[in-house]
Structure 1
Amino acid sequence: MKIVLHQFASFAYGVSRSAGNRARAGLLGLTALCALSVAPATADTVRLVALGDSLTQGYGLADGEGFVPVLQDWLTQQGADVTVINAGVSGDTTAGGLARMDWTLAEPADAMIVALGGNDLLRGLSPKTSRENLDGILARLKLERIPALLVGLPAPGNYGPEFKNAFEAMYVDLAAKYDVPLYPDFLRPLSEKADAGMSFRDLMQDDNIHPNATGVQEIVDAMGPEVLQLVQSVAEAEG
């Protein structure tokens, strides 16, 4: 993973339930809905919001090739009754994600993938600040009784051991604090190839920043089972 993030380190990713939760769905919710990529849903469909940056948003990819639609297709193929909502914003940091929680939750959400921190890392922002922002997001989800999957990224060594340890520890610590599952590395397929001394250019777009369609598919294939477990747990709790 050090190799992967060293190559990413000079730019940003974005070239850039409770009754109370459901009661907020009104005119503001309709506005938010228009701004999000939403698949058709039935009354019992689990609404899974993917909160993230350009990796979630699908930067540089054709319709249907980004993380959210590919994940939607993968989950559907597993028999999951779920709608994955794209709340990814290119270039967003943990601060941005926290700031738009009201807007993101304007429509009902049954579960959330929280995949933020990459831009904080690439900009060298303080892990302490990133931790506080992620803590705010997870605290809000706990208050709203919305289950979450926290998705992290390992830090490269060029920031120094203190930074690396603090950045990586925030995901582990917060997952434990809020009792949510942790998927440690969004870019796991790329990391694994890098760790094996292999090139991962075949999984990247020409900008060498964002995964291409093949890369996204591998990312979803790797992360999918963790997401499916979250969706199934929500469905069982609501059933």
Structure 2
Amino acid sequence: MTEGITSVRILIIDDEEQIRRFLRISLKSQGYQVIEAETADEGIELAATRTPDLIVLDLGLPDADGKSVLTELRHWSTVPVMILSVRASESEKVAVLDAGANDYVTKPFGIQEFLARVRNLLRPRATTMPDAGIYDDGYLHIDLVKRLVSVTGEQVHLTRKEFAILKMLVSSPDQVITQTQLLREIWGPTHVDDTHYLRNFVGRIRQKLRDDSGEPRYVRTEPGVGYRFIDCRGDCRSPAQPGQS
């Protein structure tokens, strides 16, 4: 393992010993340092004193709800937080993502997907955020400053709201932006329930980016929760061009 990975510290806040052990073994096998807490109070203390690079947080803790831990953390920390919970309702996911969580994984879960999400959250912001407001993977080019979008060199026209949606997603690559966040920011607080607006606009964005609506590579849907923009620089296959199989 590289020195960069072995210096990464991950805090697990979960009262289930079996879950902590499973995650500890899996994370250490990838070279990460792991620290553990089984209560909310202990987790907050370790978050303050051990400066983890990522926190994996269970919602069902014995001394407090995990959402209160998240709220406390967000008062003084911007460390990425991944929620790990048996609670699978859309409203629960939306609530914690709106409260500042960076990702949400439902128990039971596959370890490979979990590790992939860990890697996404640990990507240095300097490399995942578009450099100087520019995203370019050789197929899709987005200039957030000049408000220009092109696909294979051909300019794509987006309406003002379409571009605003894409900008919010591209500015936080690989992270979920909830429907509520998008609607509040772009349409205003009186439209947070108008999810049909958002679905229609996202559909048009995908069409203009030639993004397969059945299996999109750029704008992915988190059902009932929101959307995420997938950063394809360096590790995504180019989509098939018209006429290709």
Larger proportion of strand: 2
Q: When the two structures are superposed, what TM-score results if normalisation uses the length of structure 2?
A: 0.32
Q: When the two structures are superposed, what TM-score results if normalisation uses the length of structure 1?
A: 0.33
Higher relative contact order (CA 8 A, sep 6+): 1
Larger proportion of helix: 1
